């Protein structure tokens, strides 16, 4: 399978990443990627961009040097009610919204509490992708999460970076992939790149897919058209031309 898009990329705006949008685009083009998503962390992680950064993403072209660019966010799940750290008036104008648990914003709790937070976040109509659910820091009920992903049409991410930064993720992601295959739930691979050289790096995530013989039709990284169609089903307007009308205004 040829993977031609990466929906989880961080720029210097995230505070602990080291590349610009243009640098990520350059490497993506060299690697033959057709689309990337700029998904810097939401504002509640210390040192990360404020809400107006996400409004002003309108100034970033939807295509740079032949690479399509989705403008989005990796929002933080803040509580058991699934509230996110980016107001809906900002999320509604982004091309793509990722949501996940990060311990500075949501201290790990019981399996039931962690699971409830994720389930509630997935019911947010603006959330498109649940990121790194295999993080061993958070015990989760994968059966309920996969079922809710099916019901809400939410993509489940297999996060390649987790296999390096979150020890124990491989076994969890393997279990998640098996359950997604059984239920027919779509997944997406994310590099979670914090340095341009890692954009499109799915080397370890590929092993997961091979091990469970995951069907290609349920993998979103193989087609720009498939991803764009999915986002439109979710009510988004990806890659449309935008007019800048001022800070805090609609994209």
Mean pLDDT by 10 residues, the chain (251 residues): 97 95 98 98 87 95 97 98 97 97 97 98 98 97 98 98 86 97 98 97 96 98 98 94 38 29
Sign of the dihedral through C-alpha 2, 161, 24, 54: positive
pLDDT at 251: 29
Q: What is the pTM of this model?
A: 0.94
Instruction: Check if the beta carbon of residue 40 is closer than 8 Å to that of residue 11.
Output: yes
pLDDT at 244: 34
Task: Return d(Cα 233, Cα 174) in angstroms, integer.
Answer: 28
- Cα–Cα–Cα angle for 50, 63, 153, nearest 5°? 70
Task: Return d(Cα 161, Cα 163) in angstroms, integer.
Answer: 5
pLDDT at 204: 93
Residues paired with residue 9 on neighbouring β-strands, in sequence order: 38, 193
Tokens of 220: 């979103």
């Amino acid at each position: 399978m040829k993977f031609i898009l990466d929906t989880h990329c961080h720029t210097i705006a995230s505070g602990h990443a080291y590349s610009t949008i243009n640098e990520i685009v350059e490497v993506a083009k060299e690697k033959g990627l057709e689309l990337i998503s700029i998904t810097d962390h939401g504002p509640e992680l210390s040192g990360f961009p404020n809400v107006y950064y996400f409004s002003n993403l309108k100034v970033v072209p939807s295509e740079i040097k032949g690479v399509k660019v989705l403008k989005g966010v990796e929002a933080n799940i803040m509580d058991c009610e699934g509230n996110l750290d980016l107001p809906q008036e900002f999320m509604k104008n982004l091309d793509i919204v990722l949501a996940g648990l990060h311990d500075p914003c949501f201290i790990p709790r019981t399996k039931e509490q962690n699971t409830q937070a994720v389930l509630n976040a997935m019911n947010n109509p603006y959330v498109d992708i649940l990121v790194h659910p295999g993080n061993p820091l958070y015990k989760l009920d994968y059966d309920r999460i996969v079922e809710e992903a099916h019901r809400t049409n939410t993509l489940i991410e297999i996060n390649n970076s987790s296999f390096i930064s979150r020890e124990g993720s491989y076994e969890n992601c393997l279990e998640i992939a098996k359950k997604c295959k059984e239920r027919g739930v779509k997944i997406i691979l994310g590099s979670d790149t914090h340095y341009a050289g890692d954009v499109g790096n799915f080397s370890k995530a590929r092993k997961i897919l091979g091990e469970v013989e995951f069907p290609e039709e349920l993998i979103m990284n193989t087609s720009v058209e498939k991803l764009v169609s999915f986002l439109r089903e979710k009510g988004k307007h990806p890659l449309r031309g935008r007019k800048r009308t001022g800070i805090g205004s609609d994209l």
